[in-house]
């Protein structure tokens, strides 16, 4: 049996982009909010740093623009960046007016400094629990809305597209073991990124690029998938467990030390520990390779103890579980896959080439991050472009849904779950080993061959759930690898040891992948 749900909006994903879009859309119509797990399992929930916005009198959108462009290494869409930095403060002030209270010192906001920024402009909540506070704030608003229905533990496996118009999606309810057809005038993909395809990742391992896979299967171009940003300082533990050590820790003065206790980032960039993320990650990688070690150290022992305990409360408490005291001990850290800069190609309103279909947040490629995301710009992007997408979508509300017919039945056999998890781990290991911070043609080609060899032969009844999960995982991993093979240069967070320099010919050039790889110039 297939259930049918009709609403004005379908929003797939429950990170900041999805929650904020649902909150906004509920003012104009009914909303079906679908999430693969619960509202609290998105990458946003774990975001520590904060939201960058030029709200201080000593700052300006122009300075924020310049910092973003500089970090993006020649691949930022300047129009998108202008929108981000100019509209960002408006969205922040609306959030504040709605009741969200950012951390303050006295009557002034406590603004953090992070890598690549020339001004303190990062707003935060609960010290370094910004993501959790925002998700809980919006989740409460969503629960209070009569226009929003939340569907948790729903896997969206296909979009419902007819004649280049999106009429909704097909989903499977894990709890009810039932198929659903969701129909709407407007569908927004807000499923987050794909950094969970790596073994060592700051993301939940459920973040495997579901939305990117949905769009790619529907014939929509994905852009610059080779650009996976690695966060420089993820906690290192020999079992593989990790958690993020916020960029803000270095913003407050923490040092990176090699195994001999020497600060080394001054050897790589004049801003030392506050260099852009790609520079810091590459510096750490090089030191680890030269010294044949698995990690370097982060030191906060020279900073104020009480400030560490309050400003970075959850990092302090998480480290204590591993018998490490941030106020006096060295913290083992190494880079981990963190953010998907590439994604579904969109316009400046989040629109795709399929009418009625939008992509917002990390799943989308708006061009604001270029080849390397400036710290704490990601949450701001969610706010700005979710708002623009909902505003643009108003012209489509109440459109005729007469073509939104069709159902898809899904079959699930839990007996193959253990096999799926084993093959998923195989993909994780391949990506970590061969498609990491530093790459080379031979290892990339070998990785692509290994990914293709991983068994996905479950195309028969009763196994579609896990078959599709593995196909999606392999597809997204392959898109990253293909993009990395074709971009024969080092730019931003894509580093090729066989092409160690930026290629002037590839300045302002995006790589769009559909049937093949097409290079698109940003500015003619």
Q: What is the DSSP string of 380-408?
A: HHHHHHHHHHHHHHGGGTT---TT-----
The strands making up 2-6's β-sheet, listed across from edge to edge, are: 2-6, 178-183, 165-173, 154-162
E strands of 190-295, at which residues?
A: 222-223, 228-235, 255-257
Taking alpha carbons only, the member of 108, 104, 147, 171 closest to residue 9 is: 147
Residue whose token pair is 């073994």: 199
Task: Say what the alpha-carbon torsion angle 284, 286, 289, 292 is, to the nearest 10 degrees.
Answer: -50
Q: Are the C-beta atoms of residues 412 and 177 closer than 8 Å to each other?
A: yes
Closest CA to 316 of 513, 128, 184: 128
Backbone angles phi, psi at 235, to 5 degrees: -55, 135
Q: Two tokens at 49?
A: 């740093």
Give the Cα separation of 319 and 38 in Å (integer).
Answer: 26
Report the C-alpha gap between 65 and 67 in whole angstroms. Answer: 6
Rounded CA gap, 68 and 153, in Å? 36
Q: Which of 200, 277, 439, 487 is catalytic?
A: 277
In whole angstroms, give the CA distance from residue 47 to residue 339: 11
User: Three-class SS of residue 329?
Assistant: coil
Question: Beta-carbon neighbour count of residue 292 at 10 Å?
Answer: 7
Is 119 annotated in the active site? Answer: no
How far apart are alpha carbons 6 and 29 in whole angstroms?
11
DSSP H stretches of helix in 56-77: 61-71
Task: DSSP letter for 463, please.
Answer: -
CB atoms within 10 A of CB 14: 31
Active site amino acids: 277
């Amino acid at each position: 049996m297939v259930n049918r749900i009709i609403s004005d909006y379908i929003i797939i994903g429950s990170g900041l982009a999805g929650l904020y879009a649902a909150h906004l859309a509920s003012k104009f119509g009914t909303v079906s909010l679908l999430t693969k797990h619960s509202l609290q399992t998105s990458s946003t929930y774990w975001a520590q740093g904060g939201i960058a916005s030029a709200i201080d009198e000593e700052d300006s959108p122009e300075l924020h623009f310049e910092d973003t462009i500089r970090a993006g290494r020649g691949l930022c869409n300047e129009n998108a960046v202008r929108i981000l930095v100019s509209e960002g403060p408006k969205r922040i002030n609306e959030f504040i007016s709605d009741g969200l209270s950012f951390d303050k010192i006295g009557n002034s906001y406590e603004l953090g400094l992070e890598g690549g920024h020339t001004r303190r402009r990062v707003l935060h909540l609960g010290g370094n629990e910004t993501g959790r506070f925002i998700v809980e704030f919006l989740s409460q608003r969503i629960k209070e809305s009569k226009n929003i229905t939340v569907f948790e533990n729903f896997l969206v496996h296909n979009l419902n597209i007819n004649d280049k118009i999106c009429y909704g999606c097909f989903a499977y309810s894990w709890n009810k073991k039932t198929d659903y057809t969701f129909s709407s005038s407007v569908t927004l993909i807000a499923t987050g990124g794909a950094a969970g395809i790596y073994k060592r990742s700051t993301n939940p391992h459920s973040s495997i690029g579901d939305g990117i896979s949905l769009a790619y299967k529907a014939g929509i171009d994905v852009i610059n998938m080779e650009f996976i940003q690695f966060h420089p300082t993820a906690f290192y533990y020999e079992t593989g467990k990790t958690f993020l050590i916020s960029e803000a820790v270095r913003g407050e003065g923490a040092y990176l030390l090699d195994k001999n206790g020497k600060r080394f980032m001054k050897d790589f960039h004049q801003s030392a520990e506050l260099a852009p993320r790609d520079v810091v990650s590459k510096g750490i990688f090089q030191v680890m390779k030269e010294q044949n070690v698995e990690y370097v150290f982060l030191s906060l022992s020279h900073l104020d103890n009480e400030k560490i305990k309050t400003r970075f409360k959850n990092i302090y408490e998480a480290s204590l579980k591993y018998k490490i005291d941030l106020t006096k001990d060295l913290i083992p850290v190494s880079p981990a896959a963190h953010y998907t800069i590439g994604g579904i190609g969109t316009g400046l309103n989040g629109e795709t080439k399929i009418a009625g279909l939008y992509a917002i947040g990390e799943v989308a490629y708006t061009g604001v991050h270029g080849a390397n995301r400036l710290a704490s710009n990601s949450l701001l992007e969610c706010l700005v472009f979710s708002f623009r997408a909902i505003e643009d979508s108003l012209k489509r509300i109440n459109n005729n849904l007469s073509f939104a017919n069709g159902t898809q039945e899904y079959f699930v056999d839990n007996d193959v779950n253990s096999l799926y998890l084993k093959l998923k781990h195989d993909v994780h290991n391949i990506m970590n080993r061969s498609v990491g911070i530093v790459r080379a043609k031979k290892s990339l080609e070998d990785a692509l061959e290994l990914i293709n060899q991983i068994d996905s032969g479950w195309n028969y009844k009763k196994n579609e759930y896990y078959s599709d999960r593995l196909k999606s995982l392999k597809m997204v991993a392959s898109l990253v690898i293909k993009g990395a093979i074709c971009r024969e240069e080092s730019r931003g967070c894509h580093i090729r040891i066989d092409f160690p320099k930026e290629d002037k010919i590839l300045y302002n050039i995006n790589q769009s992948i559909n049937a093949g790889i097409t290079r698109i110039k940003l500015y003619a």
